[in-house]
């Protein structure tokens, strides 16, 4: 009787120890499963965030969208690698085949420079023509401020007289008709003065004035 009771106690102890080990092992397995689930959930959340970012960039692109998308696609590839290594269920859409970056339009070329507008032929740098009668020697020439086609005014020559005025500082000349009376030998209106002036100057100190008609 005593021997049977002793064996029965030993069996009970063994059974209790085995049960405890089984419960402990189950707890370890459950704990490990819980940790793996948390890791997989984190990877799935990160994957979803990056996919939403890419979708937003494609819906509202700007100059840097393509570079951002390429960067996020690399991040997604790394997340999927970690999901596979951790035994996680792969979630989210599979990444599309990489698209080549859109060709950039050629840089705008500056418009070809047009040659500067040329003054009318009589106003170009030409040497004084021979044959005219030099008048008003030593006179300076300025502008009258009158508008209209190139013309001159004078207090010495009748209307209709043609005068050739040469700026000796730049050899530009213009031939104009006297159309009004002034208080000087010759005053050029705005258009005529522009044909012979030097930039920024409103007086021709060295002038050659010839009566040519």
Coil, helix or strand at residue 54:
helix
Residues 32-78: pLDDT tens digits? 556 667 778 888 888 888 899 999 999 999 988 898 898 889 888 88
pLDDT confidence tier of residue 167, bands split at 50, 70 and 90: very high
Q: What is the DSSP letter of 92?
A: S
pLDDT confidence tier of residue 180, bands split at 50, 70 and 90: very high
Average pLDDT over all residues of the chain = 75
pLDDT at residue 105 in the model: 58
Mapping DSSP onto H, E and C, the string for the chain reads CHHHHHHHHHHHHHHHHHHHHHHHHHHHHHHHHHHHHHHHHHHHHHHHHHHHHHHHHHHCCCCCHHHHHHHHHHHHHHHHHHHHHHCCCCCCCCCCCCCCCCCCCCCCCCCCCCCCCCCCHHHCECCCCCCCEEECCCCCEEECCCCCCCCEEECCCCCCCEEEEEECCCCEEEEEEEEEECCCCCEECHHHHHHHCCCCCCEECCEEEEECC
pLDDT of residue 1 exceeding 60, the answer is no
Residues 109-158: pLDDT tens digits? 655 555 554 444 444 444 444 457 999 888 899 888 889 999 999 999 99
Structural domains in the chain, CATH included, are 11-86 (no CATH), 122-211 (2.40.40.10)
């Amino acid at each position: 009787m005593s021997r049977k009771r002793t064996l029965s106690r030993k069996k009970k102890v063994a059974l209790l120890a085995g049960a405890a080990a089984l419960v402990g092992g189950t707890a370890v397995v459950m704990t490990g499963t819980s940790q793996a689930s948390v890791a997989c959930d984190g990877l799935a959340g990160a994957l979803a965030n990056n996919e939403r970012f890419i979708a937003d960039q494609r819906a509202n692109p700007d100059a840097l969208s393509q570079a951002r998308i390429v960067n996020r696609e690399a991040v997604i590839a790394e997340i999927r690698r970690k999901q596979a290594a951790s035994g996680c269920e792969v979630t989210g859409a599979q990444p599309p085949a990489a698209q080549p970056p859109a060709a950039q339009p050629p840089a705008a070329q500056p418009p070809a420079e047009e040659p500067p507008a040329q003054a009318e032929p009589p106003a170009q740098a030409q040497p004084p023509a021979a044959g005219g009668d030099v008048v008003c020697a030593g006179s300076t020439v300025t502008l009258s401020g009158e508008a209209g086609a190139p013309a001159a005014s004078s207090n010495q020559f009748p209307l209709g007289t043609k005068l050739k005025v040469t700026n000796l500082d730049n050899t530009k000349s213009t031939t104009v008709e006297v159309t009004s009376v002034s208080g000087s030998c010759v005053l050029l209106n705005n258009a005529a003065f522009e044909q012979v002036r030097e930039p920024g100057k409103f007086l021709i100190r060295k002038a050659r004035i010839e009566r040519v008609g």
